C-alpha cells in the first residue's frame, strides 16, 4: 500500500536528518513531496468514504481507517498534527453548530483537547487567512511579517553612494542609516450572532459562510488601519504622515485637478521608489477627476490593460476610503510594514437567552509607515 510506503520513508527521513552529512535541502524537498502525496491519498480516501456513505451505513468504519493511518504514522515516529486531520476539522466545525460527531471525530477532538485545546483547524485557519488577503489586497502590497509577539524591524533608510578610493588612502565609513520600526499587536475582532437554525447547514456550507463572514470584516478593518489608523491602541496609517510642500500637491477647494497637478505629484516621488510604486485612490476620483484629464489626441494619461488602470504608468489600486479628489502615490512594499503575529482564531458560544450562536473572529495586527518619503499625496483643500 502506497500510504504505508510513504509513512515508512518519512520515518527513515527522520533518522537521516540526524546524520552529520545529511543533505538537508534534498531531504526537505523529498519530505514536502511525500506530504503532498500523502495528502492526496487521504483526500481520495475521504472522497471514497463520502461516496460509500450515500449508499451504506458504514461511514464511521471508513473514517476510522483514515484516523488509524495517522495513529500508525505516530507509532513509526512520524509526527502527525491532529489539527491538520480531516476528522478534527469536521469535529471542530460540528462543535460550533452542535452537531453529533462520529466515533473517529470524537477521538480526534478528545486528542486535541489534551494538548493545545480546541484550536481552529489548520486548513480552516489557512482558508481564513487566504480570504483575508483576497478581501484586503493592500496586505499583499505592504511588507507583511508573521512574527509572534512584539517585533523591532530594521530597514535601510539613507543609502549613500559608493565612492572612489585612492590606493592606500583611509576609507571613511559611508553615512548609510537604518530605520527601526517597532510593531506590537492590537486585537481586531468581529462578532457574528446567528439563530440556532445555523445547525441545519451542511458542514462545508457552514465553514464557507463562517470563513467568508469573518475574513471580509477583518480584512476591511485591516485595510482601513493601513490607510487611516490613528496609531494609538491600533496600527498607524499612511494618512498620519505630515503632508507639506515637499511631499504633496494641494488642489484648491473650488478647483479641479489638472494634469499639471498629477505631473507635479509624480515628480515629488523620489526616483528610488519608482519601481513598484502605485496609486491609491477611490473609484470615483479615478473616473470623475483623473479620467477627464485624458485627451487621446494629445496624451494617454490613463491606460487600461488586463482589467487594471494605470496613471502615467503607475498601477491604480481602488479603495473608497480615500477622500474624493485625493490620491496617494507610493511604494507600499518599501514604505509600510505590518505584522500579523498570530493566526486568526475563532471562538464560539451559545446564547441561551436568544437561542442563537455567537462566533467571534480574533486577529492581531499592527503596522506603520517605515519610510515616509516613499509616499506623496494629492490633497484636496477643505477651505
pLDDT tens-digit readout, 331-362: 999 999 999 888 788 888 888 888 888 989 88
Are 101 and 154 contained in the same domain? Answer: no
In a domain, 138, yes or no: yes
In sign, the C-alpha dihedral spanning 32, 38, 41, 43 is negative
Averaged pLDDT score across all residues of the chain: 82
pLDDT tens per residue across span 19-33: 777 777 777 788 778
The CATH number assigned to the domain holding 177 equals: 3.90.1690
User: What is the model's pLDDT at position 50?
Assistant: 65
State how beta strands 327-330 and 375-380 pair.
antiparallel
What band does 142 get if pLDDT is binned at 50, 70 and 90?
very high
Write the DSSP symbol of residue 230: B
Are 74 and 112 contained in the same domain? Answer: yes
In a domain, 164, yes or no: no
Who's near 66: CB < 8 A, 6+ residues apart? 42, 45, 46, 49, 85, 86, 87, 104
Alpha helical stretches, state H, 18-155: 24-53, 59-75, 86-97, 103-113, 122-135, 138-141
What band does 177 get if pLDDT is binned at 50, 70 and 90?
low
State pTM to two decimals: 0.69
User: What is the model's pLDDT at position 235?
Assistant: 94
Q: Total structural domains in the chain?
A: 2
In a domain, 166, yes or no: no
Are 323 and 300 contained in the same domain? Answer: yes
User: What is the model's pLDDT at position 266?
Assistant: 97
Domain boundary pick from 117, 149, 180? 117
Copy the grid coordinates of residue 249.
500637491
Are 144 and 109 contained in the same domain? Answer: no
What band does 224 get if pLDDT is binned at 50, 70 and 90?
very high
Are 186 and 60 contained in the same domain? Answer: no
In a domain, 243, yes or no: yes
Are 61 and 132 contained in the same domain? Answer: no
What band does 76 get if pLDDT is binned at 50, 70 and 90?
very low
- Could you report how far apart the first and last alpha carbons of the chain are, in Å? 76
Copy the grid coordinates of residue 109.
477532538
Are 72 and 130 contained in the same domain? Answer: no
User: What is the model's pLDDT at position 179?
Assistant: 65
CA 349 to chain CA centroid, nearest Å: 26
Choice between 40 and 318, residue whose per-residue pLDDT is larger = 318
Q: Are 225 and 234 in contact (CB under 8 A)?
A: yes
Are 76 and 101 contained in the same domain? Answer: yes
Are 193 and 289 contained in the same domain? Answer: yes
User: What is the model's pLDDT at position 157?
Assistant: 55
Domain limits for position 380: 120-159+172-383
In a domain, 299, yes or no: yes
What band does 252 get if pLDDT is binned at 50, 70 and 90?
very high
Whole-number Å distance between alpha carbons of 261 and 268 = 11
Whole-number Å distance between alpha carbons of 160 and 277 = 22
pLDDT at 107 over 70: yes
In a domain, 292, yes or no: yes
Whole-number Å distance between alpha carbons of 167 and 22 = 46
Nearest to 226 by CA among 317, 120, 337, 93: 337
Whole-number Å distance between alpha carbons of 228 and 246 = 21
Copy the grid coordinates of residue 7.
509513512
Dihedral class, residue 273 (left if φ above 0, else alpha if ψ from -120 to 50, else beta): alpha
Are 26 and 150 contained in the same domain? Answer: no
Whole-number Å distance between alpha carbons of 130 and 143 = 16
294-310 mean pLDDT:
86
What band does 237 get if pLDDT is binned at 50, 70 and 90?
very high
C-alpha pair distances (Å), 70 with each of 75, 76, 95, 211: 9, 10, 22, 27
Domain boundary pick from 99, 117, 135? 117
Classify 104 as helix, strand or coil: helix
pLDDT at 214 over 80: yes
In a domain, 165, yes or no: no
Q: Let me know if 32 is exposed, middle or buried by CB neighbors in 10 A (0-12, 13-18, 19+).
A: exposed
pLDDT tens per residue across span 264-279: 999 999 998 999 999 9
What band does 91 get if pLDDT is binned at 50, 70 and 90?
very high
Whole-number Å distance between alpha carbons of 315 and 280 = 9
Q: Are 63 and 104 in contact (CB under 8 A)?
A: yes
pLDDT at 366 over 80: yes
Are 230 and 106 contained in the same domain? Answer: no
In a domain, 339, yes or no: yes
Are 126 and 270 contained in the same domain? Answer: yes
Amino acid at each position: 500500500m502506497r500510504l504505508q510506503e510513504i509513512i515508512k520513508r518519512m520515518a527513515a527521513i527522520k533518522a537521516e536528518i540526524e546524520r552529520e552529512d545529511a543533505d538537508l535541502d534534498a531531504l526537505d524537498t523529498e519530505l514536502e513531496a511525500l506530504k503532498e502525496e500523502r495528502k492526496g491519498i487521504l483526500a481520495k480516501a475521504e472522497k471514497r468514504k463520502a461516496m460509500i456513505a450515500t449508499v451504506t451505513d458504514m461511514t464511521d468504519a471508513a473514517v476510522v481507517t483514515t484516523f488509524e493511518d495517522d495513529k500508525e504514522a505516530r507509532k513509526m515516529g512520524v509526527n502527525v498534527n491532529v489539527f491538520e486531520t480531516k476528522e478534527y476539522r469536521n469535529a471542530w466545525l460540528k462543535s460550533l453548530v452542535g452537531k453529533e460527531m462520529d466515533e473517529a471525530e470524537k477521538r480526534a477532538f478528545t486528542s486535541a483537547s489534551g494538548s493545545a485545546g480546541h484550536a481552529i483547524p489548520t486548513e480552516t485557519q489557512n482558508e481564513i487567512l487566504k480570504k483575508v488577503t483576497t478581501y484586503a489586497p493592500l496586505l499583499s502590497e505592504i511588507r507583511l511579517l508573521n512574527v509572534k509577539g512584539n517585533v523591532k524591524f530594521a530597514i535601510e533608510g539613507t543609502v549613500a553612494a559608493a565612492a572612489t578610493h585612492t590606493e592606500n588612502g583611509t576609507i571613511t565609513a559611508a553615512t548609510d542609516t537604518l530605520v527601526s520600526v517597532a510593531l506590537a499587536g492590537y486585537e481586531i475582532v468581529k462578532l457574528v450572532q446567528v439563530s440556532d437554525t445555523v445547525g441545519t447547514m451542511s458542514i462545508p456550507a457552514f465553514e464557507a459562510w463562517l470563513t467568508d463572514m469573518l475574513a471580509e470584516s477583518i480584512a476591511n478593518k485591516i485595510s482601513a488601519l493601513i490607510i487611516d489608523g490613528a496609531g494609538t491602541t491600533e496600527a498607524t496609517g499612511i494618512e498620519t504622515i505630515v503632508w507639506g510642500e515637499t511631499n504633496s500637491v494641494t488642489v484648491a477647494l473650488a478647483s479641479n485637478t489638472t494634469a499639471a497637478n498629477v505631473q507635479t505629484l509624480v515628480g515629488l516621488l523620489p526616483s528610488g521608489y519608482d519601481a513598484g510604486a502605485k496609486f491609491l485612490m477611490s473609484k470615483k476620483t479615478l473616473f470623475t477627476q483623473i479620467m477627464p484629464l485624458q485627451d487621446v489626441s494629445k496624451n494617454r494619461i490613463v491606460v487600461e490593460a488586463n482589467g487594471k488602470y494605470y496613471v502615467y504608468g503607475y498601477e491604480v489600486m481602488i479603495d473608497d476610503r480615500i477622500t474624493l479628489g485625493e490620491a496617494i502615490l507610493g511604494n507600499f512594499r518599501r514604505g509600510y510594514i505590518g505584522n500579523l503575529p498570530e493566526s486568526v482564531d475563532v471562538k464560539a458560544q451559545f446564547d441561551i437567552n436568544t437561542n442563537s450562536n455567537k462566533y467571534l473572529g480574533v486577529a492581531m495586527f499592527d503596522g506603520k509607515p517605515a519610510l515616509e518619503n516613499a509616499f506623496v499625496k494629492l490633497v484636496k483643500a477643505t477651505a
